[in-house]
């Protein structure tokens, strides 16, 4: 396969993964922003579904970017000057996964307004970290392929 076709395929896979990742972030933010009203436990149960979905999308992202023959491996092999940036993104995966897991756990304990506030605070930290990771990933894609993957978002 020629280099251009390999790059097209790699970029298509990256764009699909980025879209799924972003949709999960948006869904989580929407769930956290809904009013808890007089049913904090019900709010938390609904928000948990979005957090669990985000966890699944994040795990899929991690598997797809770290597996043999994956995006990060392709970057290191074909663009060794970007190896450090790829390693930095890979190192963010565990804290991201831990943060989402902690959010799911926090949501499982919500039973009052204080619990809602704590869950929202944790969610904001998680959302910020997920978005920052996504932004750094866009920079890596641009540096490797000179393509701005964020323009289609």
Q: How confident is the model at residue 67 (pLDDT cuts 50, 70, 90)?
A: confident
pLDDT at 74: 85
Domain range annotation of the chain: 3-152
Answer for the pair 25, 127: CB distance below 8 angstroms, yes or no.
yes
Instruction: Give pLDDT tens digits for 9-45.
Output: 777 777 888 899 999 999 999 999 999 999 999 999 9
For 37, phi then psi, to 5°, come to 55, -135
pLDDT at 150: 60
* pLDDT surpassing 70 at residue 62: yes
Q: How confident is the model at residue 115 (pLDDT cuts 50, 70, 90)?
A: very high
């Amino acid at each position: 396969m020629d280099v251009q076709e390999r790059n097209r395929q790699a970029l298509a896979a990256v764009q699909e993964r980025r879209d799924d990742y972003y949709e999960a972030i948006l869904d989580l933010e929407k769930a956290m922003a809904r009013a808890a009203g007089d049913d904090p436990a019900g709010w938390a149960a609904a928000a948990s579904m979005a957090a669990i979905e985000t966890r699944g999308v994040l795990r899929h992202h991690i598997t797809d970017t770290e597996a043999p023959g994956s995006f990060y491996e392709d970057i290191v092999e074909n663009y060794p000057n970007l190896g450090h940036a790829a390693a930095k993104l890979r190192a963010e995966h565990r804290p991201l996964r831990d943060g989402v897991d902690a959010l799911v756990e926090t949501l499982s304990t919500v039973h009052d307004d204080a619990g809602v506030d704590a869950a929202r605070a944790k969610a904001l930290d998680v959302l910020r970290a997920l978005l920052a990771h996504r932004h750094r990933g866009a920079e890596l894609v641009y540096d490797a392929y000179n393509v701005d993957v964020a323009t289609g978002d």
